[in-house]
Structure 1
Amino acid sequence: MGKMFTKIILCLLLDALCSALFISNNLNAETKGPPVTYLESITQDEEENKIYYPSAVFAEPVKNEIYVIDSKSRIIIYTSDLFPVFTLSKGAGINVPQGVTVDSEGNLYVGHPMTKDNPRPKISIYDACLKWKRDFFLGGFEGAGSFVPYRLALDKRGNIYVAGSYYPGILILNNQGQLLDIFSVEEEGKKVLLNYVFIDMAGRIYLVSEETSHIYVYDENRNFLFKFGEKGGSTGKLSRPQAVGVDNRNGRIYVVDYMRHTISAYDNNGKYLFEFGGLGWGEGWFQYPKDIAVDSMGRILVADTFNNRIEVFRVNE
């Protein structure tokens, strides 16, 4: 009886090992790309205070700095080795910041919503030494009073792209803050609500709609290229997409899914490859992630909002 029991256990173990190898091989064959490995987490500012509910992460490509926005109205700046060096907060005029971007001269752009202290939504600009320069107040379009400048991006011409919080279009401003256009997307004769904009190193423009679970991709002249994403709650689908990060080096597009607690990976043409993460509290898991960035070193940074951290991953080439 003992020998028979041992044989059964060995057979079960062998079967499990073969199944695992089969799944692993299928994953590698389907993704045709490297998996990711958890590296570490960012959890503190330069004074060792914890970050709280980080909602945005931005990787600046010139000085290789990382900017994090948390729920305490702070913009925390880290070096490329993830060392916290400086925090912008209310004393510098920061009030409920939503999104940031940085131009080639090191100027920092910060989106502010309308609050008790801010009579109108605005974009505040700080120089490379983080001193306030000027504000661009947003107005002159339908819904301006309640518009929330949620995410910012800059094109090669210096124009500012502003995504509202579920607004049917992307504002395009020149470098003097003048409204040039509202960039809208239509499906079935209806304007789509958009919640995120990103412009990659090649100039391609990515618009995210949680409403449709689609990511719309355009060239630098705003010519439509393709869209991808399918609404759903299972693997390969998007429930509530929040943000995109682009890895130009490996030809990958990463999409944050807030409700599925995952990062979905696609190739440069929008073909689904794989996902990582899932609901959890340990290393490599997420709890309602909100944003993503890929830095100049190819690392993936995820704003793991309800776990109060920025998780950092390496792509294994």
Structure 2
Amino acid sequence: MYGMSYNKRLIAIFLTGLLCGFPLKAKGQKVVSTRVLGIINIDETGKALAYPGSIFYDKKSRQLYVVEPGKSKVIFYTPDYFPFLAVGKGYGVKDPVDIFVDSKGNFYLISSNEQKIYVLSSALILKKVIPVKGFKGDNDFVPTHVAVNPVTGEIYVTGAGKDFVVCFDENGKFTRFLYPEMKVEDIKVGSIVSNVGVDSLGRVYLVALDFGQVYVFDKDGTFLFKFGTHGANFGQLSQPSAVTIDEENRRIYVCDPMRQAVLAYDMNGNFLFEFGGRGWSPGWFNYPTDVAVDNRGDVIVTDWLNQRIQILKPEQNKPVHVETTMPSNRAE
């Protein structure tokens, strides 16, 4: 699977879910209502989005960045979510699959096919290219996601099917690995890391796909705590794909494509609520893959198979009683 393109790998995972059966919500569970504030479904040329991938919201510029892997570009959206620019080959970047913007406004774009990190200035001038190399096992390491520590400048890179995160210093020199691990009968067991996030204090959040949990480390790589319960039911994580931290509202959001949901936790990892469910109407998801939060605390979700991005406001004081697995519309 590692030699496949980004979209083909996602399709393979999705088909596996179909064959195994997507978990459904149990009758009578309570979820949180969401208000749909907007839906993004066009690129900078006015054409329909085609399977949007990773997203990043920069709170300084108040801009949203959406990766469209099939077209090898990153689309820039204004604070009111109007598409105005795309970055790709014309900027010296080949086949981007993920993007991160650091505190100085530099852009870090990962290319799986090239096994490189392209670093662009805030003026979109290519500053340097960092090969994802220099560590044991780098020959078959296919980079998928990137994050930059705002305190130390350390760069974190996940790899397709890998049970660790590769760490580089700000100059691109390999420094160490970070692992999510648990003990089973005194034997250490690892999990594929599907994504990585950071907060303003430099804490690092590793999304452990197999464990259905998120592992949190401090800026020095010391393990702090983990959260999330593995499972296919309400309030559990089946195969989480992304994490984002809303420090202003003291919430952590985790995206779970297999459960078609986004789950919310407090800053200590205590479960608060979830929203979503499989569907095609606004407020529903069809394989959500990434999540971000904007300046207003609204949640932005990549709705991959619906080929759109949704901007949603969870309303914790408005629980919805689910009586069927496929209600017509949960959004207001």
Q: Same fold (TM over 0.5)?
A: yes
Aligned to 2:58: 60
Aligned to 1:129: 123
**Structure 2: stretches of 5+ with no match in the other structure:** 1-27, 317-332
Cα shift at 1:316: 4.7
Corresponding position: 1:232 with 2:231: yes
In 2, Cα distance between the equivalents of 1:271 and 1:191?
23
Aligned to 1:43: 41
Aligned to 1:147: 141
More strand by share: 2
Bigger radius of gyration:
1
What do residues 26-51 of structure 1 show as CA deviations (whole Å, max 9, x unaligned)?
Answer: 96xxx9xx854221111112221111
Of 147, 171, 176, 1:176 maps to: 171
Q: Quick check: 2:152–2:219 contact (8 Å CA) kept in 1?
A: no
Aligned to 1:104: 103
Structure 1 vs Structure 2: percent identity of aligned residues?
37
In 1, Cα distance between the equivalents of 2:182 and 2:129?
34
1:259-298 to structure 2, matched below 5 A, reads: 259-298=258-297
**Structure 1: stretches of 5+ with no match in the other structure:** 1-22
State the one-letter code of the partner of 1:139: K
What do residues 265-310 of structure 1 show as CA deviations (whole Å, max 9, x unaligned)?
Answer: 1122111121111100110000011100112221211011011111
Aligned to 2:244: 245
State the one-letter code of the partner of 2:161: Y
Q: Quick check: 2:241–2:257 contact (8 Å CA) kept in 1?
A: yes
Corresponding position: 1:302 with 2:296: no
Aligned to 2:180: 185
Cα shift at 1:236: 1.2
Cα shift at 1:242: 0.3
Specify whether residues 166 and 296 from structure 1 end up closer, same or farther in structure 2 by C-alpha distance, changes over 3 A only.
farther
Q: Quick check: 1:65–1:79 contact (8 Å CA) kept in 2?
A: yes
Q: Quick check: 1:281–1:287 contact (8 Å CA) kept in 2?
A: yes
State the one-letter code of the partner of 1:168: D
Q: Quick check: 2:191–2:209 contact (8 Å CA) kept in 1?
A: no
Instruction: Provide the TM-score with structure 2 as the length reference.
Output: 0.80
Q: Quick check: 1:99–1:149 contact (8 Å CA) kept in 2?
A: no
Cα shift at 1:209: 1.2
What do residues 145-197 of structure 1 show as CA deviations (whole Å, max 9, x unaligned)?
Answer: 22122111111121111122231211111111111111122222133321111
Report the 3-state secondary structure (helix = DSSP H, G, I; strand = E; otherwise coil) of the residue aligned with 2:139: helix
Q: Quick check: 1:108–1:127 contact (8 Å CA) kept in 2?
A: yes
Aligned to 2:195: 196
In 1, Cα distance between the equivalents of 2:92 and 2:121?
13
Corresponding position: 1:164 with 2:146: no
Count of residue pairs the alignment pairs up: 283
In 2, Cα distance between the equivalents of 1:129 and 1:140?
29
Cα shift at 1:56: 0.6
More helix by share: 1
Q: Which of structures 1 and 2 has the larger relative contact order (alpha carbons within 8 angstroms, sep 6+)? A: 2
Deviates more, 1:127-136 or 1:277-286: 127-136
Cα shift at 1:315: 4.3
Q: Quick check: 1:298–1:315 contact (8 Å CA) kept in 2?
A: no
Instruction: Provide the TM-score with structure 1 as the length reference.
Output: 0.84
Q: Quick check: 1:110–1:125 contact (8 Å CA) kept in 2?
A: yes
